[in-house]
Every structure is written in structure tokens, then in C-alpha cells.
């Protein structure tokens, strides 16, 4: 009887541990931004109502939220793969930028028919993203340049180089406006199709489905294969992994290739399914890769959780834009919400209280004995 | 492009002006790394204090108050960072990135609420930090160019580096702080309140980021530009890695990054394209780290 009760309690604690933290984090950050909204002189309920409606209110809004979620999911998967294996790489942004640019170029310049052209464009994004990721791994392995510094610097380098390319090398010659710095528009046959064809308002494209497939693949890879086990061990305890005969160097490169490929592919989806061209700063300004990172953190690097969190964060942005249109509150309030959520997620409020209770109990027992 | 002595003097001047912000942030990073609080929120802290320095100056029109506010904001942000890491046991990477995301959101949000813009705010009537005019040097032709339009904080950064060296290596407090970094268990067994020291020292050091923020938005230009820091916080982190947290070494490593940054501005007059020039400081950062590590590894092999 007592045993049963304890099991039940354990299960509850583990559920609260898994769900409680994100719920508390999201709750507190919504509360804090409610204060900001009130200071701006707007009605909190109206503002949040507009936000929810603008994100998930009807088919159109939902479809634009999901299409926005696509690159975020891919960026989140990239973070999941790398961080779960113990490499705190933050180069998703740079890889996504180069992936997007190379997909745009292949799809625009390569004169071959539809489907192969799309596939080659996606392949180009995968290869370029993976190569850029390998570069950071090489810097780490050969020169011990930490991932934090190399990948952050490489994000800025990638953005500047892509900006240079779109400004001077591959700028759309037919652009009417001299200020529109972008590559040429991809022809209809080389685009990833819309899921609901015929209605231009439904922006959701098949890239979203591909992203969901990628989520499942990564999930299976991590939880059902020996590769997943090895990489996780490497992340949890590198010395144990070494002792167990895992080739750390090979692991490093495989993980980084996978991670970079995901990020690059995310960029390709955004270009081939949504924008149909690479526009200067398009990944940098939208912060897809960073949102992906927040999503992965929210889900504690679980791929399926990451997908849900990505959709939530995408909803935060589309809803935020809707709020910006109808109230005086700018969309950037969502970045603040994201930051606060992330901060509260990192400090593990609930687990600490849980642990301290345990410690207190142990101390009490110690005193009695 | 013709290279004259005057030109080189102006390059030197521009390098000097780029050193101080990185040096100040690197000094703070140095304190944080000495007490084992990994601070990657430097970038966001710098951005926030640059914004609040500008905001205060815009509304209060008193440079001393603006500097004070920026310093306090720098300390507040760093306090949140270290409190979350030290007391709440947050993962330092995530805490830092969260604060950076928050800072970017907060500044852009306030920019559009208060100034109704998302790019650059400037006001011709706004006065920046006063420029120091050195008494004798101002009459010498080339040397005056070398030291022209530098503010008190520019010079103060170097003085602070020396003060930090004295504090960290010549005082009891510095000894305790370094002891925490070397072995926090041993330090706490000596009766040092490790957590208190960690939080206090990092918070105070955060004030230096505030000073750096003033230089960005009220220094050589009096304007706030969205994302004005452009990764200077991360570059300072790299600078601190290069000098292993030594305050005097930080002068040297910051000089390296100040030079590459000014190089990317100076070369603008040539045929080289802006976007590619922008990459120079970032590439230099990675290259410097790589070269340093190779040399350090060789040295340990010899020993």
C-alpha cells in the first residue's frame, strides 16, 4: 500500500518535473509581459486575445504559423543533435544562412526540370550547412577553439559573406527597386509546393511535413539506435564513452554533420517553400535559428518536444505581429518573452525545490539518528 | 589611397577608440572567469547599457547621470546572470543566451515604443561624452591626431586595467577571488563565502560593461543603432580567453581586436567591399584563438 503510494507520487513528480518547468516558465513570462503591456496602456486580455487569434485563430493564421515554424523546427533539431552529444555549438544561424543562399542559387541557376532541381537545391543546402559545421569541428579538434566562440563568430561571418554575395555577385538583375538586395526569383517548378494549392493565403508548404519527418527520424536515431546511445553517452560522460571504446573524433564529426545538415535544410525550406529567393539578412533578422535553440532548450533537447515548442514560438511571433497590427505594442515584446522563458527554463526552479525538500528530509533523518 | 603619417596617425587613433569598449568588457569577463562564473551575457549586457546610456542622456541631458545609469544597468544585468548561475544553479550557457535574447528584445522594443523606429536614433542636439584635450599634446601636429577625440572613459579603461591587476594580484580580496577560481571547495574550507564573493565580484565588474556601453552610444558617435554592439561582447570574451583573465594581458589582446576592427573601418575607402571587411574582426578572433592554443600546446610539450 505504502509502496504503491510512493510509486504514484514518483510518477507525479516526474510528470511535474517534465511539464511543470515549461508551464511555470511560460506562465511567469506571460505575467511579466502583461505588466509591460499594461504600461504601454493596452488591455492585457485584448492584447493576448489578439495574439492567440493571430497565431492559431483560423486556417490562414494557423497555416502561416506552421510555415514559420518550419525553419525553427529544423534549427531546433540542429541544436538537439549537437547539444545532446555534449557540443554546445551555436552555429545554426550561419549554417542556415549558407543553406538558404545555396538552395536559392541552385534552384535559380540550375537548368534542369522540377523535382531533381528541388532535390539538388536541398542537397546543396545540406552539404553547405554540414561543411560549415565541420569547419567549426575542425577548429575545435585541431586548434581547441571552443565552439562558443568559433560558432558565434562564424554566424556573423556567414551573414556578411551572404550579404556580399547578394549585393555584388548574385543580385537579382531584374529587381526594379535598387534597394531590394536579393537573388532572382525561383521559377514555379523549382519551388516546394503549398499543401493547400490554389489559395495564396495558405502559406503552409510541404517543407513543414518534411520537417516533421526529420523530427521523427532524429527521434528514432537518438532513442532507438546504438548511434544515439553512443552520442548521448559522449555528451553525458565523455570519459566513460572513451572507456567504452567510442571513437570521440568520429562521433564529433558525425554529430556536427547531422546538425549542420538540419540547419542548412531549414534554410532551404524557407527559401524553396516560402520566400522563393534569398533576401539579404532574411535569416539573421528573423532569428529562426535562435528561436530553434530556445525551442530545443524548452523541450530539454527532446526532438518531438522541440517540434511542439517550435510551433508555440512561431505562434508567439505570428501572434505578436497580429498584436502589433491592432495595438500599439511592437512585436519585439515576443523576443523579451522568449528570453524570459529561456532564463526561467535554465534555472530549474522546480527541481531545486524538489531536491531541497529531499535534502531537508535526509538532514532531519540524520539528526534523529 | 595615399599613406601618409597623418593617415597612420588616424588609424592609430581609430584603433585606440576601438580598444576601450572591448577592454572594459574583457576586464569584466576576466573577473567572471577568475571566480568561475562563465559569463556569455556580456553581449546583451553591453547592448542594454549602451541603450540606457543613450536613453538617459536623451531625456535627462546630463552626461554624469547617463554614465551612472549605464553602470547600474550593467551591474543589474550581470547580477541577474550571476544570481541565476550561482544561486539557482542555472546552466551558464543558457542563462547567458537567454539574457542576450532578452536584451535584444528589450532594446528593440523600447526603441520602437519610445522613438517609433527600428533602425537608428540620433539627435543633433544631443551631447556625447566630453572629449579630453591634452594640454601639451594638442599642439604637436601628428601626435594630436593620434590622441584626438578620446573621452575620459577611453583613458579610464587603461587605468582600470591596472587597478584590476592590483586588486586581483596584490590584495587579499583578489587572492580570495582567485582562490575561488582555482578550487572553490578549498576556498570555502578557508571560510570564504564562495557564493557571496562570486555574486558580488561579478556584479561590481558588470559596472565596467556599463562604461563600455556609454562609449558605444555616447562616444565617437552619439546615436543608438539597433544591435549596436555587433558581437563586441563575444569578441571581448575571446580577448579574455587569450589573456587567461589577466587584466594587463587584456590590454594587449583588446589592442589586437581594436586594431582589426579599426582596420575594417579604415579600409572602407579602398576598393574592398564593406561586407567582406566586416568579417575581419571575427576571422581575426578565431585565428588568434587558434594560434594562441597551438603556441600554448607547444609550450606545455616542451615542459
In three state form, how does the secondary structure of chain A look?
CHHHHHHHHHHHHHHHHHHHHHHHHHHHHHHHHHHHHHHCCCCHHHHHHHHHHHHHCCHHHHHHHHHHHHHHHHHHHHHHHHHHCCCCCCCHHHHHHHHHHHHHHHHHHCCCCHHHHHHHHHHHHHHHHHHHHHHHHHHHHHHCCCHHHHHHHHHHHHHHHHHHHHHHHCCCCCCCCCCCCECCCCCHHHCCCECCCCCCCCCCEHHHHHHHHHHHHHHHHHHHCHHHHHHHHHHHCHHHHHHCCCCHHHHHHHHHHHHHHHHHHHHHHHHHHHHCCCECCHHHHHCHHHHHHHHHHHCCCCHHHHHHHHHHHHHHHHHHHHHHHHCCCCCCHHHHHHHHHHHHHHCCHHHHHHHHHHHHHHHHHHHHC
The residue-averaged pLDDT of A189-204 equals 81
* pLDDT the model gives residue B191: 84
The residue-averaged pLDDT of A127-150 equals 93
Q: Helix or strand or coil: residue B129?
A: coil
Q: Using the beta-carbon criterion (under 8 Å), do A338 and B283 form an inter-chain contact? A: no
The confidence band for A246, taking pLDDT boundaries of 50, 70 and 90, is: confident
The span from the CA of B67 to the CA of B49, in Å, is 9
Nearest CA in chain A to B99: A339
Query: For chain A, what is the mean pLDDT?
Result: 85
* pLDDT the model gives residue A6: 67
Backbone angles phi, psi at B223, to 5 degrees: -165, 155
- For residue A148, the chain B residues in CB contact (below 8 A) are 40, 93, 234, 237
The residue-averaged pLDDT of B113-131 equals 86
The confidence band for A354, taking pLDDT boundaries of 50, 70 and 90, is: very low
Q: Which of residues 77-106 of A touch B (CB under 8 A)?
A: 88, 90
Nearest CA in chain A to B297: A143
Does A362 score more than 70 pLDDT? no
A343 closest CB neighbour out of B95, B275, B293? B95
| Poorest-pLDDT segment among A78-87, A137-146, B74-83, B133-142 | B133-142
Tell me which range, A124-128, B1-5, B133-137, B168-172, is most confidently predicted by mean pLDDT.
A124-128
| Poorest-pLDDT segment among A171-185, A241-255, B251-265 | A171-185
B286 closest CB neighbour out of A145, A160, A167? A145
The residue-averaged pLDDT of B112-133 equals 85
A340 closest CB neighbour out of B40, B100, B102? B102
The confidence band for A176, taking pLDDT boundaries of 50, 70 and 90, is: low
Kindly report, residue by residue over A226-238, the tens digit of the pLDDT: 888 888 887 777 7
The confidence band for A366, taking pLDDT boundaries of 50, 70 and 90, is: low
Q: What is the pTM of this model?
A: 0.87
A154 — contact with chain B (CB < 8 Å)? Answer: yes
Kindly report, residue by residue over A87-115, the tens digit of the pLDDT: 888 899 999 999 999 999 999 998 888 78
Instruction: Establish whether this prediction's ipTM goes over 0.95.
Output: no
Tell me which range, A244-253, A344-353, A358-367, B92-101, is most confidently predicted by mean pLDDT.
B92-101
Q: How far is A28 from chain B (nearest CA, A)?
A: 14
Give the residue from A141, A99, A140 showing the smallest Cα distance to A122.
Answer: A99
Inter-chain Cβ pairs, chain A and chain B, closer than 8 A: 145
Q: Using the beta-carbon criterion (under 8 Å), do A294 and B101 form an inter-chain contact? A: yes
Preferred mutation among A284, A335, A344, A351 to probe B, highest tally of B CBs within 10 A? A335
Q: Which of residues 156-175 of A touch B (CB under 8 A)?
A: 156-157, 160-161, 163-164, 167-168
* pLDDT the model gives residue A353: 44
Does A336 score more than 90 pLDDT? no
Percent of chain B whose pLDDT exceeds 70 = 98
The residue-averaged pLDDT of A144-171 equals 90
Backbone angles phi, psi at B224, to 5 degrees: -115, 125
Q: Which of residues 263-292 of A touch B (CB under 8 A)?
A: 290
Preferred mutation among A140, A153, A291 to probe B, highest tally of B CBs within 10 A? A153
The residue-averaged pLDDT of B137-149 equals 78
Higher pLDDT, A358 or B33: B33
The span from the CA of B98 to the CA of B80, in Å, is 11
- For residue A40, the chain B residues in CB contact (below 8 A) are 113
Q: Using the beta-carbon criterion (under 8 Å), do A343 and B286 form an inter-chain contact? A: no
* pLDDT the model gives residue B44: 95
Amino acid at each position: 500500500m505504502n509502496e504503491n503510494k510512493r510509486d504514484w507520487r514518483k510518477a507525479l513528480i516526474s510528470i511535474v518535473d517534465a511539464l511543470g518547468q515549461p508551464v511555470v516558465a511560460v506562465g511567469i513570462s506571460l505575467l511579466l509581459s502583461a505588466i509591460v503591456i499594461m504600461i504601454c496602456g493596452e488591455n492585457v486580455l485584448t492584447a493576448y486575445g489578439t495574439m492567440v487569434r493571430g497565431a492559431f485563430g483560423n486556417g490562414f493564421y494557423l497555416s502561416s504559423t506552421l510555415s514559420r515554424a518550419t525553419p525553427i523546427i529544423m534549427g531546433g533539431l540542429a541544436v538537439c543533435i549537437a547539444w545532446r552529444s555534449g557540443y554546445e555549438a551555436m552555429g545554426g544561424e550561419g549554417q542556415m544562412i549558407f543553406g538558404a543562399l545555396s538552395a536559392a542559387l541552385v534552384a535559380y541557376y540550375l537548368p534542369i526540370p522540377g523535382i531533381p532541381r528541388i532535390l539538388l537545391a536541398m542537397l546543396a543546402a545540406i552539404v553547405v550547412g554540414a561543411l560549415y559545421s565541420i569547419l567549426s569541428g575542425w577548429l575545435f579538434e585541431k586548434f581547441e577553439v571552443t565552439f562558443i566562440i568559433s560558432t558565434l563568430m562564424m554566424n556573423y561571418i556567414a551573414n556578411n559573406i551572404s550579404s556580399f554575395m547578394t549585393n555584388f555577385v548574385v543580385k537579382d538583375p531584374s529587381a526594379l527597386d535598387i534597394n531590394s538586395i536579393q537573388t532572382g526569383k525561383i521559377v514555379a517548378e523549382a519551388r516546394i509546393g503549398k499543401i493547400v494549392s490554389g489559395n495564396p493565403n495558405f502559406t503552409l508548404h510541404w517543407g513543414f511535413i518534411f520537417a516533421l519527418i526529420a523530427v521523427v527520424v532524429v527521434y528514432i536515431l537518438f532513442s532507438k539506435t546504438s548511434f544515439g546511445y553512443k552520442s548521448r553517452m559522449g555528451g553525458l560522460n565523455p570519459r566513460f564513452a572513451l572507456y567504452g571504446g567510442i571513437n570521440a573524433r568520429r562521433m564529433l564529426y558525425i554529430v556536427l554533420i547531422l546538425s549542420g545538415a538540419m540547419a542548412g535544410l531549414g534554410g532551404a525550406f524557407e527559401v524553396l517553400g516560402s520566400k522563393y529567393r534569398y533576401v539579404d539578412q532574411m535569416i539573421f533578422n528573423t532569428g529562426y535559428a535562435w528561436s530553434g535553440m530556445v525551442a530545443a532548450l524548452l523541450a530539454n533537447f527532446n526532438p518531438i518536444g522541440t517540434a511542439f515548442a517550435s510551433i508555440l514560438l512561431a505562434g508567439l511571433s505570428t501572434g505578436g505581429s497580429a498584436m502589433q497590427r491592432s495595438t500599439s505594442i511592437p512585436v519585439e515584446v515576443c523576443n523579451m518573452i522568449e528570453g524570459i522563458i529561456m532564463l526561467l527554463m535554465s534555472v530549474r526552479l522546480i527541481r531545486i525545490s524538489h531536491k531541497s525538500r529531499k535534502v531537508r528530509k535526509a538532514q532531519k533523518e540524520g539528526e534523529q539518528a | 589611397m595615399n599613406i601618409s603619417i597623418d593617415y597612420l596617425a588616424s588609424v592609430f587613433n581609430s584603433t585606440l577608440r576601438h580598444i576601450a569598449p572591448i577592454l572594459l568588457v574583457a576586464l569584466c569577463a576576466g573577473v567572471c572567469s577568475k571566480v568561475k562564473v562563465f559569463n556569455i551575457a556580456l553581449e546583451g549586457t553591453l547592448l542594454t547599457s549602451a541603450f540606457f546610456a543613450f536613453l538617459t542622456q536623451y531625456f535627462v541631458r546630463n552626461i554624469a547621470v547617463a554614465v551612472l545609469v549605464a553602470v547600474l544597468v550593467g551591474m543589474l544585468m550581470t547580477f541577474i546572470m550571476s544570481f541565476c548561475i550561482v544561486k539557482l544553479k542555472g546552466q551558464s550557457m543558457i542563462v547567458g543566451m537567454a539574457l542576450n535574447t532578452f536584451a535584444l528584445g528589450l532594446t528593440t522594443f523600447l526603441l520602437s515604443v519610445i522613438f517609433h523606429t527600428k533602425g537608428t536614433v540620433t539627435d543633433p542636439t544631443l551631447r556625447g561624452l566630453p572629449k579630453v584635450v591634452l594640454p601639451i599634446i594638442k599642439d604637436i601636429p601628428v601626435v594630436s591626431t593620434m590622441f584626438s577625440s578620446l573621452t575620459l572613459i577611453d583613458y579610464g579603461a587603461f587605468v582600470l586595467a591596472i587597478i584590476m591587476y592590483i586588486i586581483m594580484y596584490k590584495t587579499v580580496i583578489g587572492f580570495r577571488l582567485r582562490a575561488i577560481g582555482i578550487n572553490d571547495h578549498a576556498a570555502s574550507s578557508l571560510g570564504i563565502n564562495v557564493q557571496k564573493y562570486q555574486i558580488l565580484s561579478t556584479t561590481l565588474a558588470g559596472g565596467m560593461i556599463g562604461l563600455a556601453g556609454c562609449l558605444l552610444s555616447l562616444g565617437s558617435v552619439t546615436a543608438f543603432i539597433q544591435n549596436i554592439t555587433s558581437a563586441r561582447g563575444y569578441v571581448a570574451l575571446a580577448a579574455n580567453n587569450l589573456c587567461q583573465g589577466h587584466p594587463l594581458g587584456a590590454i594587449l589582446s583588446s589592442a589586437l581586436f581594436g586594431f582589426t576592427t579599426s582596420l575594417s573601418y579604415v579600409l572602407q575607402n579602398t576598393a574592398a567591399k564593406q561586407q567582406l571587411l566586416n568579417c575581419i574582426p571575427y576571422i581575426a578572433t578565431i585565428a588568434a584563438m587558434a594560434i594562441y592554443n597551438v603556441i600554448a600546446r607547444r609550450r606545455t610539450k616542451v615542459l
